[in-house]
A and B are shown apart, each in its own frame.
Chain A
Amino acid sequence: MENLDVVYNTNNYLKYDFLDYLPFIEKGELDQVYRPNDDSYLMIEALNLEAENSIEQGALIVEIGSGSGILINHLVSFLDKKNKSSSLAIAIDINYDANILTQKYANHYHLSQVECVNTDVAEGLYNRLKGQADVVICNPPYVPTEDEEVASAYQKLYQKDKLLKEGKMEEMKKINCIEASYAGGEDGMVVTQNMIDTSLDLLAPNGSLYIFLIFENGVESIVKAIQQERPEFKCQVLLKQRKYNELQYVLKCSRLK
């Protein structure tokens, strides 16, 4: 992409205070959520840099699709350590097990600003959070798959939710919804597009969205569409790396004042 310079150079070695999730994880807990990988670590690196350079004190943070909670917990921790504590960090996930794990992770590291909500994207929060979020984080289900895979993933999620509401915990545990964390349909954008649109709506003036994307998602078209349809936002690529066969980006979209 000729017209999008990369803001930071990535360091492939870890240069931040890593909050290890292994000490408190129980057997099987990581099977139900997205296991942190290179995408997660690239995002953490970006969040560490932005916590230092850009994010202000008292930020209201929202993560859409928190999974294990690794991203939001790290950002809250970085800001605490830099004496720029956030005011509230809402970790949203449609998968109840993700909420439980995120909460466990936050409690273990005494991150008292973290609150977990079990919902689809921002349903139930949208009206009150619109225009209020200083930071939105998203590592979306970006993998290009058949659209059917997305449909079947969501079918399992709703089945799991139904069993949870009926109190059938043993049956609920047998349903594994891991696909919903990565299955993105055509171009990996079927769910991702909605997450981008909603995230931009939630941003406060001067607020920023940090989103992970890969080349196949059509990063250039995404940026172009935002520039054309929503010119009140400015886009920058913060980090870029090639991992195996993926060209990975952390995109920052900021709402101008």
Chain B
Amino acid sequence: MRLLSHNLLQCNVKNCKSNNFPLKIQVDKSNIINCEFRKEPLVKLIPKLDWNALAITVHNLAKNKEFPEKFSPALLDDQKFMQELHRILMETHIIEGALICEGCNKRYPIKNGIPNMILNDEEV
């Protein structure tokens, strides 16, 4: 699971309405896997990100203490920053671990890089 996907995952347990995003990440095994940097698709992705959630996650994972809390258009022209954003979103993989909802404590396991968001009967 790349950190990009994490930005799209929210707890969907019945009645869990607050503190359900972003999910806290328990990292048992992670990896940086290089892949091709493509600027235009990355630029198109930015409006779809929840930047605040991304900043919180990056800080919590100690991936980059200087990661900006707010997005500004000037960042798009900062080549070094865009490469760093690519590294965070596209190259940082959580292979084993879990996603934990801070609102209801539901634990979503991550196995072989695949997050499992399936709920039990009672939770639907």
Contact = CB atoms under 8 A, between A and B. Distances in A.
B30 to A, nearest CB: 15
A161 B43 contact: no
B91 to A, nearest CB: 9
Contacts of B38: 85
B9 A57 contact: no
Contact of A58 (B1, B5, B43, B114): B43
Contacts of A127: 10, 12, 21
The size bracket of the interface on A is 20 to 34
Contacts of B111: 96, 164
A128 B50 CA distance: 9
A116 B113 contact: yes
Interface string A116-146: 1111100111111100100000000000000
Of A100, A103, A124, A161, most buried by chain B (CB within 10 Å of CB) is: A124
A123 B90 CA distance: 22
B99 to A, nearest CB: 9
B40 interface: yes
Contacts of A119: 116-118
A72 interface: no
Contacts of A124: 9-12, 108, 115, 117
B112 interface: yes
**Taking chain A's interface residues, is the majority helix, strand, or loop, or is none over half, making it mixed?**
mixed
A85 B42 CA distance: 10
A186 interface: no
A94 B117 CA distance: 9
B116 A164 contact: yes
A161 B118 contact: yes
Contact of B115 (A88, A110, A117, A164): A117
Given A115-B1, A118-B116, A161-B116, A87 B41 contact: yes
A213 interface: no
B44 A103 contact: no
A100 B117 contact: no
B45 interface: yes
Nearest to B34: A112
Chain A to chain B: the 3 pairs with minimum beta-carbon distance, closest first:
A58-B44, A124-B117, A112-B35
Interface of B: 1-2, 4-5, 7-12, 21, 35-36, 38, 40-45, 48, 50, 90, 108-109, 111-119, 121
